[in-house]
Amino acid sequence: MPYAVGLQAAASALLHAGFPTQFTLAIVIFLLIMHVISCFEQEQPDAPKTLPGHSLSAIHPFFRRRFDFLNWGFHATGQSVFQFHLLRNQVIVVSGERARETFFAARGLDLEQGFKILSGALPTLKGVTSDLQNKARNIIYKRLATVQRNTSLSDLIPAILEDSRRIMEGWGSGGSFDPFEKVYELIFQTTVRSLTCSEIADDPAIVARLKVLYDKLDHGTTPATVLLPWLPTPAMLKKLWATKQIYDIVAHAIATREQSGVPQNDTLQMLLDSKDDKLIIVGFIMGLLIAGARATGTTASWLITFLGANPEWRAKALLEVQTLLSNYPLSQPTPNGSTSAHLATIPLEAWEAEMPVLDSLIRETLRIAQPHSAMRRNLGPDLYIENKRVPTGSYVIYPFSDVHLDPELYPDPWKFDPSRPVDTKTPFGYVGWGGGKTTCLGTRLAKLELKMVSSLFLLGFQHHIVDINGKVADVAPKPDWNDIHMCRPAKGSCYVKYEKLETQL
């Protein structure tokens, strides 16, 4: 009887407790139940080996030091395939050539579902940027292909170069900057120009606001917001508010265009002329904008960094750009002898086919400084990777470092060496733009942005890499693959010191 009285008193106290106390207790009970259930789960004979330690101990390192964590997993299990749990989510990590082939070829492995659960850094609006029906998803892919047609890309060249010129002019005659801030800001602007509309791209204040909001999504992505999206943590509330503000900016731009009745030559006009549903248009802009800016911005930041740290490659790239200009002389002078205006007259096919040095520089930059881990969810049926069962509903990860930092394929893998021969024999021996059925759909646009921005920068500035004290770096900065967004090196170790040349941008 005293036990019943005690339980009754405890229940009464709980009912009269505030919501925060009740909510916290509910979470504790939830985690305790999951722990008890996991203790009774039996590992199947064909299941991948499980990481040692409690499953909860994997959450923080997976989200905060993923590169180290995954490498430790291969070492701790002694296997090329292992598994762990993120709460109730079974995650299987694979490595090796055969596993890589299966991973990129398997039909049941879904990119969107995998990225949604294991990353969570995109603005999430159901039916707009997530949980899309196949029809809506296919429309978005089709419209992205339209953006990258010859005519569309050719029309974008002058606008991207003009945006680049304006921003670079704002850097002044000399100084230093963090490339992972300044170069990223530049690429964010050119990506906005490419994938949105003049109402947004022509207003620096709106572009800056959008960047701040997308940065909030990145910084606000925590283990709780990804694994417990229904939990109203402060980080989740901030993410929801940032997502709403992004939505409002895009929706307002669409409404402004429709009300004006004045057509423009930009991506929004193409979307409106295609008579797409408004939610598809908003989803196209919200989702692809950050996906494009983040990946291309990271590559551009590192490309400028590697050029500054490798004078011989900087000289080769500059010579290539100068040769391109000489091969396409102006038929009439540009305003003020503008370099950007001259570059804008070079045809698209030349940018794509006549720059082998920059092609190799971009390829090597992607290899050594894109900290991706490909994420998929197995939508069924069960499949086997290296004789280990991957159940329907489980998540699968393939870290790009497994191939891109493999010393057998890339001797001295941390060395920046664009002269490396291209291996065409090893299956998926290079996955800088993805692989199999999930290659980057924006590759053509991204390469064009990278070539134009780096070309204008090389023609307009002399630069090298210095540390926080302004001392020229003895060695090139090493990418930190634990930074899952930008691979940024240690804070204070990498700045671009630059001097503007006499050339008129």
Mean pLDDT over residues 270-293, rounded?
Answer: 90
Q: What is the pLDDT of residues 40-77, one digit of tens each?
A: 444 577 899 999 988 788 889 998 999 999 999 999 99
According to the 3-state scheme, what is the secondary structure of 429-479? CCCECEECCEECCCHHHHHHHHHHHHHHHHHHEEEEEECCCCCECCCCCCC
Tokens standing for residue 490: 């240690």
More confident residue, 136 or 13: 136
In a domain, residue 191? The reply is yes
In a domain, residue 182? The reply is yes
pLDDT of amino acid 220: 73
In a domain, residue 385? The reply is yes
pLDDT of amino acid 123: 61
pLDDT of amino acid 8: 47
* Geometric angle at alpha carbon 7, from 6 and 13, rounded to 5°: 90
CA dihedral for 441, 447, 448, 450, sign (positive or negative): positive
Ordered alpha helix ranges (H), 345-442: 348-353, 356-369, 401-404
Ordered alpha helix ranges (H), 228-338: 234-260, 267-273, 278-309, 311-327
Binding residues: 440
In a domain, residue 152? The reply is yes
pLDDT of amino acid 131: 56
How far apart (Å, rounded) are the C-alpha atoms in residues 398 and 47? Answer: 17
Q: What is the pLDDT of residues 386-397, one digit of tens each?
A: 999 999 999 999
Binding residues for heme: 440
Q: What is the pTM of this model?
A: 0.88
253: domain CATH number is 1.10.630.10
Contacting residues for 65 by C-beta, under 8 A, at least 6 apart:
482
- Burial category of 417 from C-beta neighbours within 10 Å (exposed 0-12, middle 13-18, buried 19 and up): middle
Q: Does the pLDDT of residue 16 top 60, yes or no?
A: no
- The chain-wide mean pLDDT, for the chain, equals 87
pLDDT of amino acid 81: 96
Q: Which of 38-47, 89-98, 134-143, 268-277 has the lowest mean pLDDT?
A: 38-47
The range of the structural domain enclosing residue 355 comes to 134-500
Tokens standing for residue 292: 């494009």
pLDDT tier at 128 (50, 70, 90 boundaries)? Answer: low
Contacting residues for 438 by C-beta, under 8 A, at least 6 apart:
104, 111, 374
Name the domain count of the chain: 1
In a domain, residue 10? The reply is no
In a domain, residue 489? The reply is yes
pLDDT of amino acid 362: 98
Q: Which of 83-97, 220-234, 261-275, 296-310 has the lowest mean pLDDT?
A: 220-234
In a domain, residue 16? The reply is no
Q: What is the pLDDT of residues 325-378, one digit of tens each?
A: 999 998 887 767 799 999 999 999 999 999 999 999 999 999 999 988 999 999
How far apart (Å, rounded) are the C-alpha atoms in residues 477 and 178? Answer: 13
Contacting residues for 121 by C-beta, under 8 A, at least 6 apart:
217, 218, 221, 485
In a domain, residue 5? The reply is no
